[in-house]
Chains A and B, each alone.
Chain A
Amino acid sequence: MIELTDIYKSFGKVEVLKGISASIAKREVVCIIGPSGSGKSTILRCINGLESYDRGDIRIEGIRVDRNAPSIVSVRTQVSMVFQRFNLFPHRTALENVIAGPIYVKKEPRAEALERGRALLERVGLSEKADVYPPQLSGGQQQRVAIARALAMQPKAILFDEPTSALDPELVGDVLGVMRKLADDGMTMVVVTHEMAFAKDVADRVLFIDGGVIVEQGPAKSVLNQPQHARTQDFLRRVLHPL
């Protein structure tokens, strides 16, 4: 459903992506792991056109992703994104954040959007927080609202950019729990994460990225349990046993 073919991307003189090719099937959950600065987030940002790419081809169900083409709006309504820092709109309540896309972009009737919005908040376990403003919510709650906001667009896939990295440790579980439920429901997900336990449990496939290239990929359990490449082994050792 998402096809990346030989993607190159530079920021100024720094080449961040050096020929990334990957294919993500419908209902598949793919985790992207790798050291910071390796280009993980940039891949996600290229997939929904937050960044342009210099060379190669990204297609979502056959439609080329080009952030300067009008088609980008339909690409983005099909592929939602959840950010590390939540990026909720602080002047709108949780529920209003969730329905903003449906009513302003999709022009859904307000009553319908509200009903669906409440249902989505319930799905992420926050039905009682509908009328609360984001600054009054904990990080974990904000991230769950952000997931509900992404779901409200009825996307075909959701991109997660380190969704738990900005959270206090005891709040991580709630967010991962919601994500696991989404995966079980058959949502196509691409997750940049440092949560190896989540990757092992939930992901179908893991891509290990270092220095702008895919160093190793395969079924989650085999990459994480028996990494073949020295750099993957080294990375996993340092993540799993930091001391």
Chain B
Amino acid sequence: MQKFFSDAVEFFPILLQGVWLTVVVTIGSLALSTVFGLFWALLRVSGIGVLASLSAGLINVIRGIPIIVLLFFLYFVMPDFGVALTALQASILGLGIAYSAYQSENFRAGIEAIDKGQIEAAQTIGMGWWLTMRRVVLPQAIKIVLPPYGNIMIMMLKDSSQASTITVAELALQGKLIASSTFKNTSVFTLVALMYLTMSIPLILLVRHFEKKANRK
């Protein structure tokens, strides 16, 4: 135990650099997946057949490819087509695209949960599609969508470790590098696990808060 603490004091600052990248990857891909996911979901409920099936097909393609393969594709294959991304860019883009499929299904469920009668009522006072979305549907859908959204945040935080496979030195990769050079596997990976857990706890509390709020209504 004492040994763990002395190791922890030694490795903590190095791992903290990894934490910074973990946070950057998580927030970046969260933002990207939210924007993409909302866009796919709006296409899906647009009522325009071509756009809806395009979105549905795209979501299935994204869902059917493992995140790690998507990352390899962006980082190792895209340069062949003249698109060279840095490892950080590729990991944010890859995770963002991968998660946009789940975000989209979540948003769609929230949007479709709103009573059709309200949408008709909005139409009868002259609101168009977008105005109805913005003023009637989305403000209510957001309450339904938030608890699962929080869960997606937690999953993204953990899946950001997949960026290590394309050389992004985030927390997991920093841990692996220290472990392989010091052979202190137990201390290092225990510390890494604790650091992920520490970052998850505020998110878990946030989800609980969202759920309470959603149930109150």
Is B128 in contact with A73, judged by CB distance below 8 angstroms?
Answer: yes
The residues of A that contact B123 with a CB separation of less than 8 Å are 49-50, 76
| C-alpha gap A152/B115 in the complex (Å) | 22
Q: Which of A26-84 contact B (CB under 8 A)?
A: 48-50, 73-74, 76-77, 80-81, 83
The residues of A that contact B125 with a CB separation of less than 8 Å are 76-77, 80, 100-101, 105, 149-150, 152-153
A179 at interface by CB-CB < 8 Å: no
A87 at interface by CB-CB < 8 Å: yes
| C-alpha gap A152/B121 in the complex (Å) | 13
Q: Which of B80-124 contact A (CB under 8 A)?
A: 115, 117-118, 120-124
A241 at interface by CB-CB < 8 Å: no
Main DSSP-derived SS at the B contact region: helix
B135 at interface by CB-CB < 8 Å: yes
A238 at interface by CB-CB < 8 Å: no
The number of chain A residues with a CB under 8 A from chain B is 26
Is A105 in contact with B120, judged by CB distance below 8 angstroms?
Answer: no
Q: Using an 8 Å CB-CB cutoff, how does the interface string of A99-121 with B read, 1 for contact, 0 for none?
A: 01100111000000000000000
Q: Which of B126-182 contact A (CB under 8 A)?
A: 126-128, 131, 135-136, 139-140
The residues of A that contact B117 with a CB separation of less than 8 Å are 83, 85, 87
The residues of A that contact B121 with a CB separation of less than 8 Å are 81, 83, 87-89, 146, 149
Is B139 in contact with A91, judged by CB distance below 8 angstroms?
Answer: yes
Is B126 in contact with A81, judged by CB distance below 8 angstroms?
Answer: no
Which of A77, A87, A101, A105 is in CB contact (< 8 Å) with B115? Answer: A87
Nearest CB on B from A151, distance (A): 11
| C-alpha gap A63/B117 in the complex (Å) | 26
Nearest CB on A from B137, distance (A): 10
| C-alpha gap A87/B124 in the complex (Å) | 11
Q: Using an 8 Å CB-CB cutoff, how does the interface string of A134-166 with B read, 1 for contact, 0 for none?
A: 000000000000100110110000000000000
| C-alpha gap A85/B117 in the complex (Å) | 8
Is B118 in contact with A105, judged by CB distance below 8 angstroms?
Answer: no
Is A77 in contact with B118, judged by CB distance below 8 angstroms?
Answer: no
The residues of A that contact B122 with a CB separation of less than 8 Å are 89, 100
| C-alpha gap A91/B128 in the complex (Å) | 19
| C-alpha gap A43/B124 in the complex (Å) | 15
Is A83 in contact with B120, judged by CB distance below 8 angstroms?
Answer: yes
Known contacts A76-B125, A105-B131, then 7 further A-B pairs from the complex at CB < 8 Å, ordered by chain A residue: A77-B125, A80-B125, A91-B139, A91-B140, A100-B122, A149-B125, A153-B125
22 A-B interface contacts by CB (under 8 A): A48-B124, A49-B123, A50-B124, A74-B126, A76-B124, A76-B125, A77-B125, A80-B124, A81-B124, A83-B120, A87-B117, A87-B118, A87-B120, A87-B121, A89-B136, A89-B140, A101-B125, A101-B126, A104-B131, A105-B127, A149-B125, A150-B125
